[in-house]
A and B are shown apart, each in its own frame.
Chain A
Amino acid sequence: KNQVEQSPQSLIILEGKNCTLQCNYTVSPFSNLRWYKQDTGRGPVSLTIMTFSENTKSNGRYTATLDADTKQSSLHITASQLSDSASYICVVSDRGSTLGRLYFGRGTQLTVWP
């Protein structure tokens, strides 16, 4: 069964600190992995997209890594800001269908305190 598991479920950190969010998946055949940021009451916004051959990709203070062998990904946030408070969702796409079906994790709820 294609699944995406994220940990931790929630995380509280102080402003300025770094943190790392984890994502494990069983989706096969793998096409790409995305990290989205979803603010409360809003739609998800893409942070990074990585294909099979990419090990790391950065977007400002966000750095995603991918290990396709172990089917694990992480999202590292550097020097956190209050505006980083949101849900971070790991999404994996398969290449077994024309649609390229997306499998969503439940997200990690990050809270940044001043």
Chain B
Amino acid sequence: EADIYQTPRYLVIGTGKKITLECSQTMGHDKMYWYQQDPGMELHLIHYSYGVNSTEKGDLSSESTVSRIRTEHFPLTLESARPSHTSQYLCASSGPSRGRSLEQYFGPGTRLTVT
């Protein structure tokens, strides 16, 4: 099983609150990703990072932001949660080299509900 962790696993929060979803991996991977997945739907890439101090937006527009200060840590922040942010958020990592896409290892996910 891959060494990639997400906390919290479940979060119920009120509208307007600021939240941070944590993701960490111990595999030394340089690339990390955040996906959003609604029930019965495909995963959508919302953010990715090639390495420390590198962050890019993905295919799906998201009001969230990310940071990559350390290789192993890739937190996602919502400044003001809204009911439309209710979804499952999956973190993944791959590496160690650039170029061709390699195996992505996924964390267990965070199920976010905004009331």
Asked if A60 lies at the interface with its beta carbon under 8 angstroms from chain B, I say: no
Cβ of B111 to closest chain A Cβ, rounded Å: 7
In the complex with contacts A106-B41, A107-B42, A44-B111 CB distance below 8 A = no
Q: Which residue of A lies closest to B31 (CB)?
A: A99
Q: Which residue of B lies closest to A9 (CB)?
A: B40
Cβ of A27 to closest chain B Cβ, rounded Å: 12
User: Which residues of chain B come closer than 8 Å to A45, judged between CB atoms?
Assistant: 106
The answer to whether A105 and B108 have CB atoms under 8 Å apart is no
Residues of A in contact (CB 8 Å), total: 23
User: Which residues of chain B come closer than 8 Å to A107, judged between CB atoms?
Assistant: 40, 42
Centre residue among B43, B103, B109 by max chain A CB count within 10 A: B43
In the complex with contacts A104-B42, A104-B43, A41-B109 CB distance below 8 A = yes
Asked if A43 lies at the interface with its beta carbon under 8 angstroms from chain B, I say: yes
**In whole angstroms, what is the CA distance A109 to B41 when docked?**
11
Q: Which residue of B lies closest to A36 (CB)?
A: B106
The answer to whether B40 and A102 have CB atoms under 8 Å apart is no
The answer to whether B103 and A43 have CB atoms under 8 Å apart is no
A41, A46, A89, A99: the one contacting B101 at CB < 8 Å is A99
